[in-house]
């Protein structure tokens, strides 16, 4: 639900589409899987074709020719194709001692060859609770222009944990500008966004990502001022 709410709040789908998705997919009275499917497909069909859902403001890859010189963006939109090609080279796989069984499909970041994989959890909340119960500091963060795993979904998940707010929502700063927003909860859990970052935060905002991880490793809260 957080993903579709994010789409609507960023003008990627219509209010009507969002209303139908809520009605057919997430309401207590939702009974039709087909209506839910049709509503989501109708709303998002153009998103997957013409934009990078992992960074809704990034350019898309328009030339998958690995030998051509790409235009220089802060992050190359074609990088996934380079990675796939590199990791499927026989010499690279040999050096990594990978694919020794000679699989009948190529390596992919999100493999279409694993069609029956069911060994995964539907939520990571039990793991978060376990870490918090042991006294471990937990930080959950999101790039604020990631449409695939948006900050709204993370916030909705954390809300189900019914945690008390220790430090209310506020901007955190780096180099005298907003690096993102954060909220701290009792139980040693911090939620943070990274402004201008997509799905893989360091790829899009390396300086802000470094600030985030540095404060976490040092055991310090995200800074209220650029001097912190």
Q: What is the pLDDT of residue 58?
A: 87
Spell out the alpha helix ranges (H) of the chain.
2-9, 15-21, 33-50, 79-87, 90-95, 125-133, 151-159, 201-204, 206-218
Q: Calculate ∠ Cα 158-162-167, nearest 5°.
A: 75
* pLDDT tens-digit profile, the chain (228 residues): 999 999 999 999 999 999 999 999 998 887 778 999 999 998 888 787 788 899 999 888 887 777 665 555 567 888 888 999 999 999 999 999 999 999 888 998 887 777 787 888 888 999 999 999 999 999 999 999 999 999 999 999 999 999 999 999 999 999 889 999 999 999 999 999 999 999 999 989 999 999 999 999 999 999 886 555
Contacts of 155 (CB under 8 A, 6+ apart): 2, 191
Torsion of CA 158, 12, 20, 54, to 10 degrees: -50
Q: What is the pLDDT of residue 228?
A: 55
Instruction: Of 187, 181, 127, 120, give the one whose Cα is nearest residue 155.
Output: 181
What is the C-alpha separation between 151 and 165, in angstroms, rounded? Answer: 17
The domain made up of 125-218 has a fold known as Rossmann fold (3.40.50)
First-residue to last-residue Cα distance in the chain: 36
Residue 194 β-bridge partners: 143
What is the C-alpha separation between 108 and 80, in angstroms, rounded? Answer: 9
Q: What is the pTM of this model?
A: 0.83
Q: What is the pLDDT of residue 197?
A: 96
Burial label for 90, CB within 10 Å (0-12, 13-18, 19+), is exposed
Q: What is the pLDDT of residue 73?
A: 59
Torsion of CA 43, 46, 51, 57, to 10 degrees: -40
Q: What is the pLDDT of residue 111?
A: 75
Q: What is the pLDDT of residue 25?
A: 93
As annotated, the residues of the chain forming the CATH 3.40.50.11320 domain(s) are 125-218
At 64, list the tokens.
């998958």
What is the C-alpha separation between 105 and 102, in angstroms, rounded? Answer: 9
Helix (H, G, I), strand (E, B) or coil at 38: helix
């Amino acid at each position: 639900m957080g993903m579709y709410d994010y789409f609507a709040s960023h003008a990627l789908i219509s209010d009507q589409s969002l209303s139908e998705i809520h009605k057919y997919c997430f309401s207590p009275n939702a009974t039709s899987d087909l209506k839910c499917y049709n509503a989501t497909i109708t709303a998002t069909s153009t998103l997957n074709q013409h934009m990078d859902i992992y960074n809704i403001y990034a350019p898309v890859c328009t030339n998958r020719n690995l030998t051509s010189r790409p235009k220089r963006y802060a992050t190359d939109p074609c990088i996934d194709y380079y990675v796939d090609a590199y990791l499927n080279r026989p010499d690279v796989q040999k050096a990594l001692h990978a694919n020794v069984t000679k699989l009948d499909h190529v390596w992919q970041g999100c493999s279409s060859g694993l069609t029956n994989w069911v060994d995964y959890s539907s939520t990571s909340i039990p793991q978060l609770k376990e870490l918090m119960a042991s006294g471990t500091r937990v930080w959950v963060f999101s790039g604020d222009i990631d449409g695939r795993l948006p900050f709204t979904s993370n916030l909705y998940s954390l809300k189900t944990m019914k945690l008390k707010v220790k430090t209310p929502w506020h901007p955190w700063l780096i180099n005298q500008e907003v690096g993102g927003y954060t909220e701290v909860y009792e139980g040693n859990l911090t939620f943070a966004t990274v402004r201008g970052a997509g799905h893989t935060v360091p790829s899009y905002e390396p300086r802000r990502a470094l600030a985030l991880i540095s404060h976490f490793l040092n055991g310090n809260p995200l800074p209220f001022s650029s001097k912190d």
